[in-house]
Structure 1
Amino acid sequence: MALGRSLSCALACLIALPGAGEAQPASATPAAATVSATGQSQEIFPTPRHVEAAKGHLDLTAGIRIVAPPGDAAASRIAGIFGQWTAGRFEPAGGAGAALHLQRADGMAPETYRLDIGPAGARVTASDDRGLFYGLVSFWQLATASEGRSIAAQRIDDGPALGWRGAMLDSARHFQSPRYVRSFIDWMAAHKLNRLHWHLVDDQGWRIEIKAFPKLTGIGAARRPATAPGAPPLPEYRGFYTQAELRDIVSYAADRGIEIVPEIDVPGHALSAIRAYPEWGMGVPVPPGTEADWGVFPWLYNSDAATLAALETILAEVIDIFPGRTIHIGGDEAVKDQWRASSATQARIAALGLKDENALQGRMMSRLARFLEAHGRTAIGWDEILEGDVPQSVAVMSWRGIDGAIEAARKGHDAVLSPSPDLYLDHIQAQHPGDPPGRGGIISLASVLAFEPRPAELSPTERTHILGVQANIWTEHIRTEERTSFMAFPRLSALAEVAWTGHGSKDYPAFLRRLMPQLDRLRPLGLEPSSSAWTPAIAVEPAGARARVALSVQGGLPVQYSVDGGPPLPYNAPFTVDVPAEVAAWALLDGRKLGVGTTRRLTAGGLQRRDSRALETCQHKVDLVLEDDFPAAGPRAAFLIDILEPCWIYRGAMFDKVTDIELGVGQLPFNFQVGKDRDAIHFRTPKTPAGEFEVRLDDCDGPVIATLPLAPAVSNPGVTRLTAPVAPTTGRHDLCLTYTATGPDPLWAIETVDLLQREPR
């Protein structure tokens, strides 16, 4: 849209809008307050604070002009975003069409706006840039919902309940292109989120150009991914952002109401920096390839004056690139073993009169916080910084549950709630085959929506220190940009709803009614979100000569199904079908199909096949869905595995007529920094040089009913099918599947389990 043509229009040409006497309150309740006379205000996302219906409609068929105040450069840039997001679909022809005016007004609270829509035009009124932008976003939502026809006349008074509405994007573990980051910012902005916490450095990669220390990106931005022993090496992984690229992204975000909060993690998560500048570390050698590991590393920055000065030099360049108020300085997961073992560090602790290593970390963090404060910035760190007595000016990001935020608020620190696992979006959303890898333990869309951002344990005064909430997208196991989008949305949409309204919600269907139009309007902006939350799971098992089918979906939504393309049937309980058959299932929202649903082909020989995600791990110590390390390009297998106790349970196997068992198995590198936990990983003694999978009946101490030697799989970097006869068994039993080994590297993992009936000869 050529918006510049309309910018010279003075405010005197504002259109006539409905007055207060014409407006009719839709409802006093928050949910109904968003419903206008035609229901179109239901399209505003997140839920607006207050809506009043008015008479008439604004006709959009001739287009809409966005009019900024003369000389207001920020408003002009905001106006231009409407044209970018709509690809000019609403551009008026020949000067025709209505006008939406952006107007400044003193005295309105930060980030709040008023949107007036009448038959003659519309107006957004706000005091600050974010308020203007959010009003424009709401108008965009209404306009796209009506497909450019008309918008019901109404007045919307809206603003956020919480000031920090954030998402953390981890670009250190897996790098996202500048193009993708700008798209991610657009998707955040469309949800009225306002903080992008950018995790730019970690053990696995340094992604921000620092001109004073070029080896940070020359060495620290590269790694070669880990592979299982004997597997072909994967290509080198490399990527970082130049300062010019970062400044462009910062400006792009600012125009969309988003402050970028960069993170430079201290004193732990420092391996990429220490690889580049070993003198900053503790002098402990780094074995080649360690940077390809995941987990909690023992390598820390030292506390020497020269290292602290180098960190201040880095922060000075960070400050120059990122103009926002807040800089994140980490502070989490700093294993102090190397400090404890260092006589120089112990002497420094004694000379400074400090109690212990935690106090030394606190002194380091305090120095960096004061450096930032002297440059007009505020430091924020993970909740471990409370262990080191940092200044009260330092804000706290609570990730180990919400206790860190509670402690911080009671001590007078500002705090952001970002708890694991509640708001950790690297957790899987479902156990659907084909979903991308991630941490085990499902964090559902409904659970994020229900999250309460104001701890009940705090007094009203203490709650004023709770700045807001943030969801984190850690990318150890999120290798691609497409998967990042899948894992982030729509759960980040639920977080936006919680942050804007200030409370969780258990009205899942009402949320979905607002969510679906929001996702539809974001697809033209490149977002392909997950549909796992409303995709039914289809579980099958033998029922004599037939198949018993059970359907389930998150959130208690109603489900319909069909068999072999037949008429849709309501699902109320498990049912049986003849095989072969094709079962299709889909969730319903207000009686209408939600998403595309799912289909499963049932065959007599496949009724007892289980994908690893349909199994259970035995101990749930560290459950992960991991991707195979082979091949370098193309699809890879995925495995559910507990890396500290590789052991699986197959529930309720029917053994009548079963003669054989087939496992699809793959090998993975044990590239996990788990400290002493590695020493606790034990296996049964192998009976053959390569080891073997053992299948035990009923429990993990039960009799072995099948043994599958691993020798055929050792030289195969991909998935190998192993088959073995099963001891004659009848009835229904649980199975425990484990393997024998001399150590955890490689890890063997199960992709599929098949119980087979061999045809008699």
Structure 2
Amino acid sequence: MKTNLLITAIIMIFISSCNVTNVTIPENAMAIIPAPLSMTIQKGNFLFSEKCRIVVSALDDDTKVAAETLALLIKNPTGMEIPVIEGTKAGRGSVFMTLDTAVKNNEGYTLRITPKKIIVRARTAAGLFYAVQTIRQLLPPDVEKESVIEGIQLSLPACDIVDEPAFTYRGMHLDVCRHMFPVEEIKKYIDMLAMHKMNTFHWHLTDDQGWRIEIKKLPELTKTGAYRKETVVGHARNKPNIFDGEAYGGFYTQEQIREIIDYAGSKFITVIPEIEMPGHSLAALASYPDIACTKGPFEVGTTWGVFSDVLCAGKEETFTFIQDVLTEVIDLFPGKYIHIGGDECPKIRWEKCPLCQKRIKDEGLADENELQSYFIRRIESFVTSKGKKIIGWDEILEGGLAPEATVMSWRGTEGGIAAARQKHDVIMTPTSFAYLDYYQTEPAGQPLAIGGYVPLEKVYSFNPLPEELTAEERKYILGVQGNVWTEYISTPEYLEYMAFPRAFAIAETGWTPDRLKDFDDFLARLEVLKTRYEALNLNYFKGEYRDTRKTANP
């Protein structure tokens, strides 16, 4: 961490003896999140001028994304139109971007900034894009606003950076079922992920409290399932519940979904849709009650929690319904994964359902846990036939894991450990480190949240690679994800307040090797970047970032 400690020292010169909320930060302080693998600071600066050209060795739809992103950042405060051209080298005062197989990591890059030119090398277009995100964070915050500033000069400190991610999966989740968010807010959320080199957006689209994706073959899902008659007021654990008496709902059209997928793709972010099954399905049952174990009646959930009514595993109509849904979902989403939920599925209805009991007997299953495994395996077979893979929450381990399933370990890391030992891919997202709907500071004086306590320092401390695993087993840990459930998060402003900057700690955990992580260094870099977040009108949390409940080491 020598380089980062040097950067911190440079930053701290400016913030020593100051209240951290009132510091004066130099324009080009060397603050990058996530921290690069290595950085060497050189003498001098590179100055952008009207003579600058962005030269790309092989200009195509993918590589021009990075070049045009940089050109726009320069244009915003200066008004300069920097040409993007194809070529084999760049002259003095220009930027050269090239694809280079000598860079071994698919998302890695090297960045050399000298007073004469900037040279970016990457194995893929994604690597070029991540290099531009590094450049972006080294430029002044003025580049974030489309507002020309008379006389401004943009410069970058001379340095050499070699960088690559520690993990291939670096994601953030967003639940839009409990509360929806406008398309523009989702794009802003994606922007923040992209700036911090995250590559996956997990979009939770269906749940008890609302069905949010248009399925053309099954119109009742959005006619009925997208709307609840009212919503619980205050915390759901407070009994008796009080309700607001106001209808709530909506959904994303397939056109809007494509718009978001394309937008994310333009920033090298894959969107993974989640369609919950067999539990968390009240919205589906309210729309199509014939796929339930009982006759109901059903209504879209108006409070939070886990409900007894789930999809009937004994009816063929259930699987026909799911296949119809997933056929349209698979056609919409180009990524390789479909998340099928699988969590928090009570078995009480299955225990009493004659058709579910018949299925258990006919299939030679031991119990309802194995019935859930049968359910997941059957869905996996369908998804696999369409050229995709499934992800499920760690409950899909119960009763036996589907052959090609990836496990998202949320109830601690134990599920991920068990899956890795069975040679299944794993994404770590444990509640105690990665649930960003939990309180991030002491609850007193904070907006209502679901509970818990996951401060920034706790998020940052997470290491996705359990010590219990062997080196071979650790290869199955794909990466890390932060989750934002929205039972108590009802506005874009509150979403940003809860997600950021904790999501940036998730980003660094996914990108920077654990041996190089340093929380004090992270805080120093965060302090510099706050002016950038403010330029972006990000309503990030500004309170206590340290874990005040942590027991000091004796």
The two structures have a TM-score, normalised by structure 2, of: 0.86
Query: How far 1:83 moved relative to its partner?
Result: 4.9
Of residues 124, 148, 155, the one that matches 1:150 is 155
Query: How far 1:31 moved relative to its partner?
Result: 3.0
Whether the 8 Å contact between 2:282 and 2:298 is mirrored in structure 1 is no
> What is the letter of the counterpart of residue 75 of structure 1?
T
Whether the 8 Å contact between 2:141 and 2:535 is mirrored in structure 1 is no
Of residues 150, 160, 165, the one that matches 2:165 is 160
Query: How far 1:30 moved relative to its partner?
Result: 5.7
Residue 192 (str. 1) matches residue 197 (str. 2): yes
Following the alignment from structure 2 to structure 1, what is the Cα–Cα distance between the partners of residues 48 and 75?
A: 15
Following the alignment from structure 2 to structure 1, what is the Cα–Cα distance between the partners of residues 483 and 326?
A: 23
Alignment of 1:486-525 (within 5 A): 486-503=497-514, 507-525=518-536
Match of 2:436 in 1: 425
Query: How far 1:502 moved relative to its partner?
Result: 3.2
Of residues 116, 119, 126, the one that matches 1:120 is 116
Match of 2:490 in 1: 479
Residue 272 (str. 1) matches residue 260 (str. 2): no
Of residues 307, 311, 322, the one that matches 1:297 is 307
Name the SS for the 1:496 alignment partner: helix
Match of 1:322 in 2: 333
Match of 2:2 in 1: 29
Query: How far 1:56 moved relative to its partner?
Result: 2.8
Match of 1:129 in 2: 125
Match of 1:368 in 2: 379
Match of 1:737 in 2: none
Of residues 94, 99, 103, the one that matches 2:98 is 103
Of residues 248, 262, 267, the one that matches 2:259 is 248
Of residues 181, 185, 196, the one that matches 2:186 is 181
Following the alignment from structure 1 to structure 2, what is the Cα–Cα distance between the partners of residues 311 and 163?
A: 30
Match of 1:23 in 2: none
Mind listing any 5+ residue stretches in structure 1 that lack a counterpart? 1-27, 536-551, 557-761
Query: How far 1:375 moved relative to its partner?
Result: 1.7
Q: Structure 1 residues 59, 393: closer, same or farther in 2, change over 3 A?
A: same
> What is the letter of the counterpart of residue 99 of structure 2?
R
Residue 47 (str. 1) matches residue 35 (str. 2): yes
Following the alignment from structure 1 to structure 2, what is the Cα–Cα distance between the partners of residues 103 and 233?
A: 57
Of residues 216, 222, 225, the one that matches 1:220 is 225
Alignment of 1:348-497 (within 5 A): 348-431=359-442, 434-497=445-508
Name the SS for the 1:388 alignment partner: coil
Q: Structure 1 residues 427, 504: closer, same or farther in 2, change over 3 A?
A: farther
> What is the letter of the counterpart of residue 221 of structure 2?
L
Residue 205 (str. 1) matches residue 210 (str. 2): yes
Q: Deviation string for 1:67-93 (max 9, x for gaps)?
A: 444541112233333355566224436
Say which one has the larger Rg.
1
- Percent identity at matched positions? 37
Whether the 8 Å contact between 2:175 and 2:204 is mirrored in structure 1 is yes
* RMSD of aligned residue pairs (Cα, Å): 2.8
Following the alignment from structure 1 to structure 2, what is the Cα–Cα distance between the partners of residues 82 and 555?
A: 42
Whether the 8 Å contact between 1:450 and 1:505 is mirrored in structure 2 is no
Alignment of 1:305-704 (within 5 A): 305-431=316-442, 434-503=445-514, 507-533=518-544
Following the alignment from structure 1 to structure 2, what is the Cα–Cα distance between the partners of residues 312 and 434?
A: 47
Whether the 8 Å contact between 1:221 and 1:240 is mirrored in structure 2 is yes
Q: Structure 1 residues 45, 317: closer, same or farther in 2, change over 3 A?
A: same
Whether the 8 Å contact between 1:191 and 1:493 is mirrored in structure 2 is yes
Whether the 8 Å contact between 1:189 and 1:258 is mirrored in structure 2 is yes
Following the alignment from structure 1 to structure 2, what is the Cα–Cα distance between the partners of residues 70 and 36?
A: 39
Query: How far 1:225 moved relative to its partner?
Result: 2.4
Q: Structure 1 residues 477, 64: closer, same or farther in 2, change over 3 A?
A: farther
Name the SS for the 1:532 alignment partner: coil
Query: How far 1:190 moved relative to its partner?
Result: 0.7
Mind listing any 5+ residue stretches in structure 2 that lack a counterpart? 12-25, 84-90, 144-152, 234-239
Following the alignment from structure 1 to structure 2, what is the Cα–Cα distance between the partners of residues 268 and 458?
A: 31
Query: How far 1:505 moved relative to its partner?
Result: 7.7
Q: Structure 1 residues 33, 286: closer, same or farther in 2, change over 3 A?
A: farther
Whether the 8 Å contact between 1:51 and 1:154 is mirrored in structure 2 is yes
Whether the 8 Å contact between 1:170 and 1:200 is mirrored in structure 2 is yes
Match of 1:88 in 2: 76
Whether the 8 Å contact between 2:49 and 2:93 is mirrored in structure 1 is no
Whether the 8 Å contact between 2:459 and 2:506 is mirrored in structure 1 is yes
Q: Structure 1 residues 309, 259: closer, same or farther in 2, change over 3 A?
A: same
Query: How far 1:153 moved relative to its partner?
Result: 1.6
Query: How far 1:396 moved relative to its partner?
Result: 0.3
Q: Structure 1 residues 342, 555: closer, same or farther in 2, change over 3 A?
A: closer
Match of 1:263 in 2: 274
Following the alignment from structure 1 to structure 2, what is the Cα–Cα distance between the partners of residues 555 and 387?
A: 33
Q: Structure 1 residues 91, 207: closer, same or farther in 2, change over 3 A?
A: same
Q: Deviation string for 1:11-46 (max 9, x for gaps)?
A: xxxxxxxxxxxxxxxxx7363476899995732221
Following the alignment from structure 1 to structure 2, what is the Cα–Cα distance between the partners of residues 265 and 138?
A: 36
Whether the 8 Å contact between 1:165 and 1:496 is mirrored in structure 2 is yes
Q: Structure 1 residues 36, 76: closer, same or farther in 2, change over 3 A?
A: farther
Q: Which has the higher contact order (CA 8 A, sep 6+)?
A: 2
Following the alignment from structure 1 to structure 2, what is the Cα–Cα distance between the partners of residues 94 and 186?
A: 22
Whether the 8 Å contact between 1:65 and 1:91 is mirrored in structure 2 is no
Whether the 8 Å contact between 1:281 and 1:302 is mirrored in structure 2 is yes
Whether the 8 Å contact between 1:62 and 1:97 is mirrored in structure 2 is no
Q: Deviation string for 1:635-683 (max 9, x for gaps)?
A: xxxxxxxxxxxxxxxxxxxxxxxxxxxxxxxxxxxxxxxxxxxxxxxxx
Q: Structure 1 residues 505, 495: closer, same or farther in 2, change over 3 A?
A: farther
Query: How far 1:302 moved relative to its partner?
Result: 1.1
Following the alignment from structure 2 to structure 1, what is the Cα–Cα distance between the partners of residues 82 and 275?
A: 51
Residue 79 (str. 1) matches residue 54 (str. 2): no
Q: Structure 1 residues 232, 271: closer, same or farther in 2, change over 3 A?
A: closer
Following the alignment from structure 1 to structure 2, what is the Cα–Cα distance between the partners of residues 241 and 85?
A: 31
> What is the letter of the counterpart of residue 57 of structure 1?
N
Q: Deviation string for 1:47-68 (max 9, x for gaps)?
A: 1001123343201365854444
Farther off after superposition, 45-54 or 230-239: 230-239
> What is the letter of the counterpart of residue 526 of structure 2?
L
Of residues 42, 45, 61, the one that matches 1:57 is 45
Following the alignment from structure 2 to structure 1, what is the Cα–Cα distance between the partners of residues 337 and 348?
A: 30
Query: How far 1:97 moved relative to its partner?
Result: 9.6
Following the alignment from structure 2 to structure 1, what is the Cα–Cα distance between the partners of residues 544 and 471?
A: 35
Query: How far 1:285 moved relative to its partner?
Result: 1.4
Alignment of 1:12-27 (within 5 A): none
Query: How far 1:101 moved relative to its partner?
Result: 2.7
Q: Deviation string for 1:144-171 (max 9, x for gaps)?
A: 2698542222211101001111111011
Whether the 8 Å contact between 1:418 and 1:470 is mirrored in structure 2 is yes
Whether the 8 Å contact between 2:3 and 2:39 is mirrored in structure 1 is no
The two structures have a TM-score, normalised by structure 1, of: 0.63
Following the alignment from structure 1 to structure 2, what is the Cα–Cα distance between the partners of residues 486 and 382?
A: 26
Whether the 8 Å contact between 2:211 and 2:222 is mirrored in structure 1 is yes
Following the alignment from structure 1 to structure 2, what is the Cα–Cα distance between the partners of residues 231 and 448?
A: 33
Whether the 8 Å contact between 1:63 and 1:91 is mirrored in structure 2 is no
> What is the letter of the counterpart of residue 198 of structure 2?
L
Whether the 8 Å contact between 1:78 and 1:255 is mirrored in structure 2 is no
Q: Deviation string for 1:687-712 (max 9, x for gaps)?
A: xxxxxxxxxxxxxxxxxxxxxxxxxx
